[in-house]
Structures are given as C-alpha cells and as structure tokens.
Amino acid sequence: MLCNKSIGGGTCTYVHHSIPAERLTNFELPGLETLWIHLKPYRLPRHTSTITLGVIYHPPSAKADDNEILIEHINFNIDSLLNKYPDALIVLTGNFNPSSTNISLSNLARGCGLTQLVKVPTRGNNILDWCLVNKPKLFEEPVQLPNIGSSDHFSIMINPSAPNPVIRERHACKREMKDSNVRAFGRWICNDPWSGVFNEDDCQDKFDTFYELIMDAINLYFHLKKQKISFNDKPWVSNKLKQW
C-alpha cells in the first residue's frame, strides 16, 4: 500500500505483491495530493514496456490557479515519462472534483494526449472521479459498483480488454479422398501392366514415366478442391492448444 496523506482527501494505492512497483517521489510536488507509481508487471500487452500510474486528489476548494498548477504538473510528469519510456502505458486516475473546481477535462486530456474512460456517475449523478489513459483500446468499458464502507463515491471497475486475434483468410487446395475413389485407385495401381515404365531403357526415363502415370491417376481419382482457411496472427498455435 502506498499513501500520500495531507489536509485534503489524500491518496492511497494498493498494488498486488506480485507486481514490482516503485514510488516516484521525485514526481510529487509539495502542496499537491498526487502519487506516482512505476509498475512493471511480468506480462504486458504488445508494444507496452511499462506502466506508470498517477493517482490524484484535487480538493473541491481548489481555485483556477490551483487547476493550472495541477495541469502543468501532470503535463510535465507525463512528458518526462514518455521521453524515457515512449511505449509506456499511462494511467491517471483519482478524484478531480470538476463540479466544484471547474477543472477542464478537455484541457487536461488534450494537453497530455489522454482519453477519459469513466462514463458512469461516481457520486450521485456526477462524474467526479476520472481515469485517463493514453491507450484506451487496452481497456473495457468501466462498470459502476456499490460504494465501499461509508464512502459516498461509487466504486468503478475497469478491466483490461481481451486481445482480439487478427483473423486472416487463405485459400488451400485439398484432395477429395472418398472411399470409392480410394478403392478405384487401388484397383488401377494393382492391375496396370506398367508397360510404359518397363519399356524405357534409361533409369531417369523410367522414373519420369512412372511419376507421370501416378500423377495422372491421382488427378483422375482424387480431385482438387479449393477451400478457405482462417487463422489468427499466431498460426503456429493450434485450436486445440488455444483451449488450454
């Protein structure tokens, strides 16, 4: 558990013990209730090397100048993080109290290149708690849950989105192996006198004649049929293995 407690609401973050986490104290600013954490889970989505979580409490008594200080602080930290980790996932969340502070979501999101995920009320009919990310496609739609204990805020659950495999189609040719055709091919190969092969003197000519006769029979008895084959972006993973 990581905390930053001050006169206002304060911030607190719980991180599972299996996830390496580092508190970025040099990213915190006196007078602002912010908490910045660098996370390095062992499994991350493609093109994401690390996660930086920023947790904010912006008190309802904040004025216009306080809004500008907070936005500038967030912009500076995110620019510094992305300069060091260009493919990092940035998650900025917390209580911004926009209804009383009049902090601009559009200014904050546009300046940082972030997208607001929370679309459901978090307290009464208001959205006071935000969750802004730079890679919104990695998350599902937020779900509103009941409040915890005596809190008057709803809990919000945001799950990672399930990976969508890239489905591609190719055409392949497959021979029709009907039982009747197999029996007909067997009768031919047993009853043919192979005179064309035996009459050749050169070994290579014998092979060429034999190969030509076999291929003609295969094409006669086992017709080629064109069909579509669909596979994901990991064609070496079979459907049976995916079930595990």
- The answer, yes or no, to whether residue 149 has pLDDT greater than 70, is yes
The pLDDT, as a whole number, for residue 163 is 66
Region 214-233 average pLDDT: 77
- The answer, yes or no, to whether residue 130 has pLDDT greater than 70, is yes
The pLDDT, as a whole number, for residue 117 is 92
User: Which CATH architecture describes the domain 2-157?
Assistant: 4-Layer Sandwich (3.60)
Rounded Cα gap, residues 212 and 206, in angstroms: 10
Residue with the larger pLDDT of the pair 166 and 217: 217
Start and end residues for every CATH 3.60.10.10 domain found in the chain: 2-157
State pLDDT tens for residues 21-57. Answer: 999 999 998 889 999 999 999 888 878 889 999 999 9
Strands (E), 16-86: 21-23, 33-39, 51-57
- The answer, yes or no, to whether residue 241 has pLDDT greater than 50, is no
- The answer, yes or no, to whether residue 242 has pLDDT greater than 70, is no
Side-chain half-sphere of 162: how many Cα atoms within 13 Å? Answer: 2
Q: Is residue 122 classed exposed, middle or buried when 0-12, 13-18 and 19+ CB atoms within 10 A define those classes?
A: buried
The pLDDT, as a whole number, for residue 36 is 95
State pLDDT tens for residues 51-66. Answer: 999 999 999 999 999 9
Region 197-217 average pLDDT: 90
Task: Report the chain's mean pLDDT, rounded to a whole number.
Answer: 85
Region 94-113 average pLDDT: 89
- The answer, yes or no, to whether residue 243 has pLDDT greater than 50, is no
State pLDDT tens for residues 152-204. Answer: 888 989 998 876 655 566 667 788 888 998 999 999 999 988 888 899 889 99
Is the alpha carbon torsion for 176, 180, 184, 185 positive or negative?
positive
Region 194-220 average pLDDT: 89
Give the list of residues 6+ apart from residue 139 with CB closer than 8 angstroms, or none.
117, 133, 158, 159, 160, 161
The pLDDT, as a whole number, for residue 234 is 53
The pLDDT, as a whole number, for residue 34 is 92
Q: Which residue carries 């005179």 as its tokens?
A: 195
Q: Which of 6-15, 42-51, 97-106 has the lowest mean pLDDT?
A: 6-15
